Amino acid sequence: MDEASLDVNQTIEIEKLDEMEGRLDGEKASALYYQQELRQLKEEFERYKVRAQVVLKNKNAKDCSLAKELEEARDQLAELKEKYINLRIHDDKAEAKHCRELEECQQGIGMLQQGHKQELDQAEAQYRESLLRLEGELHRQRDRTMALLQEKDQELEKLKSIGYRDTGADFRATADVGRSKNANNIDDPAQEESDIITQALRLAGPNEPTLLLYAEQLARKEVEIGSLRRQKHRLEEDVHQLQGRLIANGERYDEEVAELRGQLDKRHRDQGREGANLEYLKNVIYKFLTLQDTRGRQQTLTAILTILHFSPQEKQAVVKQHQNQAWWTAGMRR
């Protein structure tokens, strides 16, 4: 009985020992697993730390590059602002100059119009005065001619009544010849008067005092008629010259007004174009300063260089300055 109990106890203890030994083996296996996992975690941590250091180093380098690029962009912004201010000052000065020139042109146009108006009024007044004088001379000449003809008719009738019909007819023919010569030679009044008197005396005999007196009076009347005709001719020439001057003055006035109006319109167009160019330049600079697209910034910078009329050397210097920047190279790759 005791031996059986002892065997049973030994068997139980052996089982416990086996169980404990199995448990120890399991714990040992778990410890090895955890150790291996710990080593893997350490290796992974080391790799992560190396990657983090690389990323941090790249980030620092990128931050330095961005800081440098930002500083250069600020310098460019300051330079562009200075150029913009200078352009604005230049535009204000140009606008003030154009305004002064425009005002001077307007004053000149006003003075020119006033002067031409005065000249035109004066010429018209002279023309009207000359026309009235000419009309008066024509009326007086017509009255004198009618009176002279009436007087001649009366004298001829008187001569006819006393029996000098043939002589009167010959004398009228001679007077007509004298008048035709007077029409052909109006520039020599002394010769005209001499010819008429000679013809009249040739017809009159020494015993005809009445006819001699009549011939002398008739010759003087013919001379007076010739003088009036010459005066009429001169007045007509003066009227034609005055009309020509009026036409020439009017044409010159129209040409000068058209030229001044063209200059005034050109100044208005130039002033409008300068304002539009300045507004366009402001929009381009604003787009360059606010644009994030690298390709767009590159194109905008090219537009700025063109608008500001950069020389080829200045363009080359600007392009060389921006070739090493990130946004420039990125824009070139695109």
Asked if the model's pLDDT at residue 286 lies above 50, the reply is yes
What single DSSP character describes residue 238? H
Asked if the model's pLDDT at residue 5 lies above 70, the reply is no
Which of 5-14, 200-209, 219-228, 308-317 is the least confident region?
A: 200-209
Domain residue ranges of the chain, discontinuous segments joined by +: 1-62, 106-270
Class of residue 226 by CB neighbours under 10 A (exposed 0-12, middle 13-18, buried 19+): buried
More confident residue, 6 or 271: 271
- CB distance 69 to 327 below 8 Å: yes
Residue 174: which region, alpha, beta or left (left: phi > 0; alpha: psi -120 to 50)? Answer: alpha
- CB distance 231 to 225 below 8 Å: no
Structure tokens at 232: 């009429």
What's the Rg (C-alpha) of the chain?
A: 62
Asked if the model's pLDDT at residue 107 lies above 80, the reply is yes
pLDDT of residue 273: 62
Angstrom distance (rounded) from CA 227 to CA 50: 130
**Mean pLDDT, range 238-244, rounded to an integer:** 81
pLDDT of residue 171: 45
Asked if the model's pLDDT at residue 239 lies above 60, the reply is yes
- CB distance 197 to 215 below 8 Å: yes
pLDDT of residue 166: 45
Asked if the model's pLDDT at residue 320 lies above 80, the reply is no
Angstrom distance (rounded) from CA 325 to CA 327: 6
**Mean pLDDT, range 18-42, rounded to an integer:** 71
Angstrom distance (rounded) from CA 210 to CA 204: 9
Q: What are phi and psi of 165, to 5 degrees?
A: -70, -45
- Our CA angle for 213, 219, 225, nearest 5°, is 140
What single DSSP character describes residue 204? S
Q: 165-170: which pairs have CB atoms within 8 A and are 24 or more residues apart?
A: 167/203, 167/211, 170/203
**Mean pLDDT, range 164-187, rounded to an integer:** 47
Closest CA to 226 of 269, 251, 258, 194: 194
Quick: pLDDT tens for 182-231.
Answer: 444 444 544 554 555 555 445 544 445 556 666 677 777 778 788 888 88
- Concatenating the DSSP letter of every residue in 151-202 gives HHHHHHHHHHHTT-HHHHHHHHHHHHHHHHHHHH--S-HHHHHHHHHHHHHH
Looking up tokens 């009429």 gives 232
- CB distance 152 to 182 below 8 Å: no
More confident residue, 317 or 17: 317
Looking up tokens 């363009």 gives 315
Angstrom distance (rounded) from CA 201 to CA 212: 6
pLDDT of residue 181: 47
**Mean pLDDT, range 276-282, rounded to an integer:** 72
Q: Which residues contact 40 (CB under 8 A, 6 or more apart)?
A: none
pLDDT of residue 48: 80
Number of H helices, E strands in the chain: 7, 0
Closest CA to 189 of 136, 217, 238, 231: 231
CA of 110: how far to CAs of 101, 199, 251, 257, in Å? 14, 66, 18, 10
Asked if the model's pLDDT at residue 97 lies above 80, the reply is yes
Mean pLDDT of the chain: 72
Asked if the model's pLDDT at residue 121 lies above 80, the reply is yes
